[in-house]
Structure 1
Amino acid sequence: MAAIDLDTLRRTVQHNCDVSDARHARDASICTYLLRMRAQYRWAHGRALADPLPGDEVGAWIEAQERRWARLAGKDYRPLPLGGPVDPFDIETANRRLAATGLAYAAGVGVGGKPSFLLAELDAAEAREGLRILRLGREHARDVAGAPAMTRSGYVFLRREQIRAMVWDELGLAGRRPAATPMARAAAAAGSGDALATLAEAQEELALLHELGEAAAGRLLGPGWEAHLAALAGTPAEHVLRAVRDLLADCLRVLPVLIGDRRPLHLHLYAARLEGPRRTLFARFEAAYRRWLADPGDWRPLHEAAAAGRAHWLATARGLLAEPASALASHLRGPAALAALRLPAPQPSAPPPPTSL
């Protein structure tokens, strides 16, 4: 096998990232798009998280990227030069050939059908629940999607740069909001040391638990679920299906560990990250979290919420899987669709009638 030219490999992976961005990056909302592009500018220019970004320069860079994308949108993805051509989605072969380089490679298809590629330094590797866990450090080539973790083909990739940046941004938002928020509580629970490092480590553990839950959910649901997601890519129904599976994964792995080990810091972080459709759907957790805040020694409401969630989200997912994707595309849209799938908090029991004497 020929020697690997790491610079040529980096440029090839970045080309594939840029082609994917040219085709899909602007599918996101304008707010999400701009946030991702600012993060990509920071990475491309080696700016520290605390460095203020020059607005005019960022704007000019985005315009230049968009002009470049216009030339790339019709280009093909290139095979990876790894001692011979390797398909850019063949992560098993790619990582086997990279084994002696200290690098790792990730690829897959994410939200909206957007392909994603990554070349990064390998900080650590381990095996867990039949999966290979790769903890990634400095990133050498990446697209704008920025998922902090992903599971593909028996691998779990944990992107430490992305996790740290995500926590940094959320800490900044927490500092501008009222103190009584889950992220503010997480920051307080982190103590007086390096809060960013403490919270990033906790978030990395949450991300790993979630990906293990995703793998467990995949075994329960079978390949038909991924086929449904592919058929519904780019539709509101895709986001509903992803939210349902995310919640099933959390109730299979994340919440049982946090509750069983009694981890307040991680629980606050989980509550802070429960957003969008997942928050709407899992009203039972919101109620249990509030009850736990009122009595931190009583973890029973959270345990009951996780148990109810496991049963509810598995049944819900299997019910959705039984319907044709075309039917889901037509009715899984809008608030009414979420309301129909929601796991509400239990209603308090009515007080018994007064006893007559």
Structure 2
Amino acid sequence: MTTFLLPSEIWDAGRGANVLTNALADTQPTDLIFVPGYVLDTGGVPQSARIIRVDVGEGFVSQDVVEARLRKIAEDPNAVVISPRLTKNDTKGGSGHNHRVHHVGKLKVVTVDADAGSYRAQWLRGSCQGKWIDYGAGQPIFTYNTNNFDEASPSKCDTYVVVASGLLGLKMIIESSPDPDARIVIFDINQHQLDWSHFVIEHAGEERDFTALNAAFQAERPELSLRAVLPHERANAKMQNDWFANHHRSVAALRDNPITWIRANLLHDPNPVLSQLPPEGQTFFMYLDIFLPWLHGEATPTVLDLRQLAAEFRAEVIDRTNSETQFLPREIAHEIQLPEHSPW
């Protein structure tokens, strides 16, 4: 009997399932194969008494750590490691494994070069969903943007696609001086965030104090929670209060433009938003830091840097519109940038 270890990382779980299936065919009936549980959870592996499931953790655990945990459970110093990676010439799983883990301040940043068809992307769009912080129903509503509010506005466009969180999307639209028939698409993963944005546009003409407007929304929807402004965000929040006081009537005037409200998750299924893109005219698309999701439940606060998915997404938007499409963020971020006074 030979003991084998399959130290697949969690973002390569699908690829690991492929390798495990091949290993079952190539090993002897008496051999044992120790495998991380998430590989088996892909559903792509036939049942076998030779497979020993091991809980190696659900977070971002590197291959060497996974291997060490498998080896400890196997209690066999001579255990043979099965490579969890397919070769460059194996067309089933793509070419190689690309990720790196580094730290920016107190944050652990995991860069995952996953294209939309890769096993890593499939995992990110599946089992990882419940681990994102500040996304989705049940999370506090972002009435203030944590992104830099002092962004330069785009040129005038025919279609504006913006996230419902905070005032930044509305600011970008208004300051570009849109025509009365300019089309607006407002999307978010959280229906309550959409409800708040709709409330702001409907009632902005009645109230120039942004904090008072938020209080009115809270009184109408007491079951919802609004995210508090953190100490290091106060200067940015003040800019938003000041801007709203000077532009609240312009925000209210957006009611006269055709607006489409869409609940959508760009990481899991971007089609509800992409289907709204016109093939002609000028388009502005604001997706902020959706491709930098923060994770909770980790010992160290963790950020996923999904730049390959972001690049694919931008290319898809441009393909459906034209090369002059304007974006916010304007360029794909290559590193996490922390403000000087960030608690992270």
Instruction: Report the TM-score, using the length of structure 2 for normalisation.
Output: 0.27
* TM-score between the two structures when normalised by the length of structure 1: 0.26
* Higher helix content, 1 or 2: 1
